[in-house]
Amino acid sequence: MIFGRRLKNSINLFSVVSVIAGMLIIVPMLNILVELFSPASDTWRHIQTHLLRGYIVNTLLLIGFVAVFSASIGLFTAYVVTRFDFKGRRLLSWLLILPLAVPSYIAAYTYADMLSYTGTFSRALRAIGLRHGINIMTLPGAVFIFVMTLYPYVYMMVKSALEKQSASFTENARLLGASKFRSFFTIVLPLLRPALVAGTLLVVLETLNDYGVVAYFNVRVFSFAIFDAWERLGDISAAIRLSAVLMVIVFAIIFLERFLRGKRRYTLHVKNRPILRKPLVGLNRYLLPGSLWLIMLFAFFIPLFQLFYYARLTYRHVLDISFIYLVINSLTLAITATFLTILIALMIANFNRGRQSAFKRGLLKVTNLGYAIPGAVIAIAVIVFFIDIDHALYPLYRLFNPDTGRLVLTTSFAMLTFAFVLRFMAIGYNSIEAAYDKVGEKFTEAAYSLNHSKVSTLIRVDLPLIKSGLISAAIIVFIDIIKELPLTLILRPTNYDTLASRVFRYAREEMLQESAVPSLFLIAISTLLIYILTHQKKKGVRIHVRKS
């Protein structure tokens, strides 16, 4: 009886879903990892002698600068918006997320175009007899593009952490005579650490995964190298070795963070006293809001205006009835994949709460793997995996339709959806984990002790508590999916165009002007979503916690 109950306790929805998800993620990866044990090819030796050093240096430079700048900008913007009061604060507090709606590759094409000889910026300068010597198609240029389009990850996470930070810490510090700076660096900043790190890590991973920007700018980093080995040198196993090196770098970064974080925990059980926002005085009244608007200008409005200008030139021959399908396809795909990703991430996060076993930790690492592997490599793995599944299920298909082809799932929407879940699981999971971190386990444990089942606890206790974390996880995953390129291009079914694939098609043919219309649609959908989710009424789960 007791044994039965124990078994029942350990086999539940969460553990089953987590283990299945873990398996589904690791099996396709095994197909890839096997390649690592094949002997090094001549191509690999060629890459080692001529190219590898450059790849490593460039990658470290790129992610180093992108991390530092986006962490600074994210922290700065979030701090100003949550701690000071000024005109336009409420508007800015959600506008600052919007650059996330602009895919990095679109920002890169747009900026490169504006600064090119025929671009608006160069022409405007020439009109007054000036010239600029800016070449954006360089490593610093790529840093600029990534920081401008990705800093909102840091901003969102730090802002939500700042909003939850109780005023009592800083107040006490100030009462005890600490200077503003000291209280910021010794109290506020250390408490923000998990949010700041999680946000920056997302930025770094997105940067490592990008291919569009680095390919166009010819910045030779790892994602570039992987495609280069595959395409130009025609050696997939060298490409996979390179992604293995990349994975090592990613794990080193994650491990370093965990190591530095040590055993510190960031769950705070204190009465949550909201911080009163201070009105800005003196020069700061203009300086701080001004700098926020400046960031918005570069990260959002400038590319947007440029795209509108081009859309005006081209909409007549680009916009047709097929656009409705593009929008519908993009939406269906993003909604389905987001829903599944968040659902599974939630199950895994639940499974991972409480006591950790080596098995759980291992599983977690595996399910987080998807984000460390470049899209194109995931695509190879997923195709091979789905073909295997289709072969296994073939007898079943024949029950439905004796004439059916073998590759049923492989030619369907399911393959792409699966790849998205695999790829973006880590983002969903990490956001949910961060939300759980903030809540702690008290309420859940209380619910369990009141004899609530795990599922009922999840739905009635945990979900309301982490709702905002869940929503932000969903926004991030959704926006990531709707703008995703390599997987969409490789894995979609026939005649299945999305907004992102249409943008890419024009951009590839060097028709930036024509790509403006689908780009704007893409940005509009993401913007709308960000607007809705930042403006939903807070239904307020009011929590009163007494100091224990």
Partner 1 sequence: MKKMILGLSVFTMMLVLAACQLGTGDGGKSITVYSERHYDTDQLLFDMFEDETGIEVRVIDGNADQLINRLDSEGPDTQADVLIIADAGRLHRAKAMDLLQAVHSDVLNENIPANYRDADAMWFGLTKRARVLVYHPDRVDPSDLSTYEALTGPAWEGRVVTRTSTNIYNQSLMASFIEIMGEEAAKDFAAGLVDSFARTPSGNDRDQAKYVVEGGADVAIMNTYYIGRMLNSSDPFEQEVAETVGVFFPNQETTGTHVNVSAAGVTKHASNVEGAIKFIEFLSSETAQGLFSSANYEYPVNERVEMDALLKEWGAFVAQDINLSVLGEHSYRAAIIMDEVGWE
Contact between residue 69 and residue 143 where contact means Cβ atoms under 8 Å apart: yes
438 versus 454: smaller Cβ distance to partner 1: 454
CB of 545 to partner 1, least distance (A): 28
Which of 19, 35, 41, 46 is the binder for partner 1 (CB under 8 A)?
46
Place of tokens 């995964």: 209
User: Is residue 9 a contact residue for partner 1 (CB under 8 A)?
Assistant: no
CB within 8 A of 201, min separation 6: which ones? 253, 254, 257, 430
Binding mask 422-461 for partner 1 (x = CB under 8 A): ---------------------------------xx--x--
Contact between residue 163 and residue 78 where contact means Cβ atoms under 8 Å apart: no
CB within 8 A of 244, min separation 6: which ones? 33, 36
The angle that helices 222-231 and 42-50 make with each other, rounded to 10 degrees, is 140
User: Is residue 91 a contact residue for partner 1 (CB under 8 A)?
Assistant: no
Tokens of 63: 């992610």
User: Is residue 471 a contact residue for partner 1 (CB under 8 A)?
Assistant: no
User: Is residue 401 a contact residue for partner 1 (CB under 8 A)?
Assistant: yes
Interaction residues for partner 1, span 127-186 (CB under 8 A): 135, 137-138
Contact between residue 239 and residue 377 where contact means Cβ atoms under 8 Å apart: yes
Contact between residue 146 and residue 216 where contact means Cβ atoms under 8 Å apart: no
User: Is residue 56 a contact residue for partner 1 (CB under 8 A)?
Assistant: no
Which of 19, 327, 409, 529 is the binder for partner 1 (CB under 8 A)?
409
205 versus 408: smaller Cβ distance to partner 1: 408
Which of 26, 412, 439, 467 is the binder for partner 1 (CB under 8 A)?
412
Which of 88, 190, 234, 290 is the binder for partner 1 (CB under 8 A)?
234
50 versus 547: smaller Cβ distance to partner 1: 50
Contact between residue 315 and residue 462 where contact means Cβ atoms under 8 Å apart: no
User: Is residue 8 a contact residue for partner 1 (CB under 8 A)?
Assistant: no
10 versus 495: smaller Cβ distance to partner 1: 495
Q: What is the DSSP string of 89-144?
A: HHHHHHHTTGGGGS-HHHHHHHHHHHHSTTSHHHHHHHHTT-------SSHHHHHH
User: Is residue 404 a contact residue for partner 1 (CB under 8 A)?
Assistant: yes
Binding mask 335-364 for partner 1 (x = CB under 8 A): -x---x--x---------------------
State the Cα–Cα distance between residues 341 and 339, nearest whole angstrom: 6
CB of 310 to partner 1, least distance (A): 7
CB of 381 to partner 1, least distance (A): 10
Binding mask 497-526 for partner 1 (x = CB under 8 A): ----x---x--xxxx-xx------------
User: Is residue 7 a contact residue for partner 1 (CB under 8 A)?
Assistant: no
> Sign of dihedral through CA atoms 158, 160, 163, 166?
negative
148 versus 236: smaller Cβ distance to partner 1: 236
CB of 403 to partner 1, least distance (A): 5
Interaction residues for partner 1, span 185-224 (CB under 8 A): 215-218, 220, 224
Interaction residues for partner 1, span 287-326 (CB under 8 A): 310, 313-314, 317
Q: For 307-357, give the secondary structure using H, E and C.
A: HHHHHHHHHHHHCCCHHHHHHHHHHHHHHHHHHHHHHHHHHHHHHHCCCCC
Q: Which of 97, 192, 203 is nearest to 437 (CA)?
A: 192
Which of 293, 298, 397, 443 is the binder for partner 1 (CB under 8 A)?
397
Contact between residue 492 and residue 473 where contact means Cβ atoms under 8 Å apart: no
Which of 414, 439, 471, 533 is the binder for partner 1 (CB under 8 A)?
414
User: Is residue 489 a contact residue for partner 1 (CB under 8 A)?
Assistant: yes
Residue length of the chain: 548
